[in-house]
Structure 1
């Protein structure tokens, strides 16, 4: 696998664009080009598609629309996204806005409205102003390009409280053909396991059936996006979509053979990188916080333990304060619901400056506090929990909890 530059336009046959349609308020000294709030991705050919969506009972209108397209139509050519209004808790009007949006895009490109996927992110409870959608689609169509830069502009257009855009792309060889998988995502707050506040759009030129594409996506989501937590809130709009147009020309992947495994491994890498990027860019965060649980009895138990630690507000605050308080991690493990022997647990902290053990056999150790502080002061910090109960392990990703998280969310609507 080769890691390459780019995102949604890295794969052959995909174009993208970003534009300012007026969903976001312009602040002093900002230009429209700097605050694009609509994005589009279009494939030259119809794509087989797959998706996973929020587990929140309150599902935004675009989530409901996309679920219908993925599960029933199974083919799409275009994705259009607005940033600034979530189109959630909007009732029948919200669904009509999706239908109207799809018709506008379909008419612009001469396709069926059920070949249009829709994404929205932003404030809940506001209706979509269709005049802005109409304006935005027109602008986006004019700007569509297959360049890396166009993909980057699109990735910036879907940001809300994100501080950086998020793109990943890789190449692999399948059936002697070069296959590319690339994508863009946004996510910074209202993020918790069982999907997170994220919109993620992945494109590939692989020739793969919709059934195998869905199987691959569903197989990697539990170990990637479902292992991210920023603040314990599961959003109404979470959506991950994969579009495959087959332009690489490989023999169709229609079973779980070696070609499927190669594709799934590459997709796993892409989704893992997106998970890390979202966690590290959590609202107000200063550090990516990774929790690896080793020696658990089962993979499921390892996941529960890792999520419990990475989601703990006290542990997250501890990371922000660079304080190696092993008691908080032991506590989070203990209330996870998993049964284990607390007198067997070893705990470590690790970052690029080194590694330190902070507990042995469940007992807090006397440590070099200055060295521990240095480890915890890095931009990426890992807590390692060795349960010494089995062979299973799992990793979860989160971030520290800072004053700025409250500031950002205290006045989010205004």
Structure 2
């Protein structure tokens, strides 16, 4: 077994492109490891399915940022004030009982029954986007489809007015990608924050003036009735706009990359659309857009699977490492649409299980089904090594996905891998 640095760096082009060899080595060494992120913050990474499952339900681990110690705050709280205090008190950073109260405000909008009733509308959205593409040729499926479909769905679900949908800048989603205070990209990062915060403020004013029967209106009404604070309102809208659609964009891209790397599975799914529900679950397990969870903290020094964790140090769970654990999944590195059961952790587990899971699952089924039906003979248009994986710490996805379809062309596929063009 090779020697690993301590702490283990979780960054770099090789890791971002394919973190699974490192995760396999970490799992083999044990369930908990000291790691370092690009910002310089160190954390304790949990790998392995059972260890992850237990950590996600461990009542000793809280998520509120006030639990973080001075060493964590010095590097991890990179979002400047006042935005950190005003935009970072959403569900992902709350503990019971406050988490319970806030989550109750949004669950109805994402309930499986309501989501299922909206399926025809969502299918029409996907078809309309694909209508813009030529019958054959090349396209970037992130720019042409994946960057737009989840946002259109989200806008409808939460009640985002059309004029605000048109104003939303997808570049604002990059505020969750760490940019340290001395990074040359810091001014652009702070400009994104200010732009998004002004957008949220304008949206609240609009919903207060013209309320409707929608989630955003209910959140504003809860603020005006004293049920939530202004920072909680702004933070929850921030979470909906960023975490509510960008991860689905990334999951569409990671699923498509997996299929393009496995042309036999792509052909199988294109020929048997009835496999879509099971295929989506397997694609979520195989390469999840939610690679790592957000921070968790012990209030006092504690043992975690035999490792002593100081109070206030951050604990991160690797969902991707858990989902490839051979102790839980046979042939874990194989993309298998017949896998059953498939208890993956792509949406987390416990009280912080993703409230939008039912919506995300439906979006993925609609997106992949429409793409494979409307774009026959789908194949990569660039070599695999040319794909640029996003530099986000917690998420996986590519920022562009050039493909060819219809007439002959594009990059050939050999042995399940994309060859050099």
TM-score, normalised relative to structure 1: 0.26
Normalized per residue, which structure has more strand?
1
TM-score, normalised relative to structure 2: 0.25
Q: With CA pairs under 8 Å and 6+ residues apart, which has the higher RCO, 1 or 2? A: 2
Normalized per residue, which structure has more helix?
2
